[in-house]
C-alpha cells in the first residue's frame, strides 16, 4: 500500500511538470478585489523563469504573494522543492515574442521574494510577472503565486455606503438621546 501511495504521488508530480521559460496568458484582472492564483509544478534539477501576462482594466493597487510548496516523503526525503524564488513585476508583455508585439522593452516596476509584494497606483494596462528560481527537490519543484488587485481610488459607491452608515449611526444616537429626555 505504501509503494502504491508513493508511486501515485510521483506520477502526479511528473504529470503536472511544466516546461521552463513558458509564458502563461492571463485574462483581464477587473478593477475590484480580485484574486488570481497559480500553482506550477516543475520537473528536473534546473533553473526556471516563468512569465505570467495579465491586464488591469483600471487603475489599481496590486498585491502578490509567492510561496514554495515543498513535499517530503519519510523514506525518500524532499522530493519536491525550489530555492531562490523571486518575483518581478514589469509593465508590458513578457515572453519570447513580446518585443515584436509591444515595441520597446518592458520596464521593471519592482520585485519580491517569499514575502508579499505591494505595488500601488498602477495604471490600466498590460503587465507581466516573472517568477525565477531553481528546482532543488529530488524529482521536481513547485511554487504558488497569488495576485490580487483593488481599486486605486475608492469608487462612488464606497462613499455612498460610508455616508449611509454615518447617517444611520446619527439616527440611532439621536433616538437614544430623545428617549433619555423626559
pLDDT per residue over 57-97, tens digit each?
778 887 777 777 778 888 877 777 777 888 888 887 765 44
* pLDDT class of 107 with cuts at 50, 70, 90: low
Q: What's the start-to-end Cα distance of the chain, in Å?
A: 80
Q: Supply the pLDDT for residue 15.
A: 44
Q: What is the pLDDT of residue 150?
A: 74
Whether 68 and 137 map to the same domain: the answer is yes
d(CA 36, CA 150): 12
- Do 66 and 123 share a domain, yes or no? yes
Element (H, E) at 49: strand 47-56
Q: CB of 14 within 8 A of CB of 43?
A: yes
- Cβ 54 vs Cβ 29: under 8 Å: yes
Please name the helix (run of DSSP H) or strand (run of DSSP E) that holds residue 37, with its range, or none. Answer: strand 34-43
* Count of domains forming the chain: 2
Percent share of the chain, pLDDT over 90: 0
pTM for this predicted structure: 0.58
Task: Judge if 25 and 115 occupy the same domain.
Answer: yes
Are 179 and 138 in a shared domain? no
Strand partners of residue 170: none
The answer on 165 and 90 residing in a single domain is: no
Q: 142 and 173 share a domain?
A: no
Burial readout 66-79 (b: 16 or more C-beta within 10 A, e: otherwise): bebeebeeeeeeeb
Task: Based on the fold, state whether residues 85 and 106 are members of the same structural domain.
Answer: yes
Q: φ, ψ for residue 139 (rounded to 5)?
A: -115, -30
Q: Tell me: do 18 and 107 sit in the same domain.
A: yes
Number of residues written out for the chain:
182
Based on the domain organization, do 24 and 97 belong to the same domain? Answer: yes
Same domain for 159 and 146: no
Q: Are residues 159 and 106 in the same domain?
A: no
Q: Which residues span the domain enclosing 47?
A: 2-151
What's the CATH code of the domain at 90?
2.60.120.380
CB atoms within 10 A of CB 50: 23
Q: Are residues 70 and 116 in the same domain?
A: yes
Amino acid at each position: 500500500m505504501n509503494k502504491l501511495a508513493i508511486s501515485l504521488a510521483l506520477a502526479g508530480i511528473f504529470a503536472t511538470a511544466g516546461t521552463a521559460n513558458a509564458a502563461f496568458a492571463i485574462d483581464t484582472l477587473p478593477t475590484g478585489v480580485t484574486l488570481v492564483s497559480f500553482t506550477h509544478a516543475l520537473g528536473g534539477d534546473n533553473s526556471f523563469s516563468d512569465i505570467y501576462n495579465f491586464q488591469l482594466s483600471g487603475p489599481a493597487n496590486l498585491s502578490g504573494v509567492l510561496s514554495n510548496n515543498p513535499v517530503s516523503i519519510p523514506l525518500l526525503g524532499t522530493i519536491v522543492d525550489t530555492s531562490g524564488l523571486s518575483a518581478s513585476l514589469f509593465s508590458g508583455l513578457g515572453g519570447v515574442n513580446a518585443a515584436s508585439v509591444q515595441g520597446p522593452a518592458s520596464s521593471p516596476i519592482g520585485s519580491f521574494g517569499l514575502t508579499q509584494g505591494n505595488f500601488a497606483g498602477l495604471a490600466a494596462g498590460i503587465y507581466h510577472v516573472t517568477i525565477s528560481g531553481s528546482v532543488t527537490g529530488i524529482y521536481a519543484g513547485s511554487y504558488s503565486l497569488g495576485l490580487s488587485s483593488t481599486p486605486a481610488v475608492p469608487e462612488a459607491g464606497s462613499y455612498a455606503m460610508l455616508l449611509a452608515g454615518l447617517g444611520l449611526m446619527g439616527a440611532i444616537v439621536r433616538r437614544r438621546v430623545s428617549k433619555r429626555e423626559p
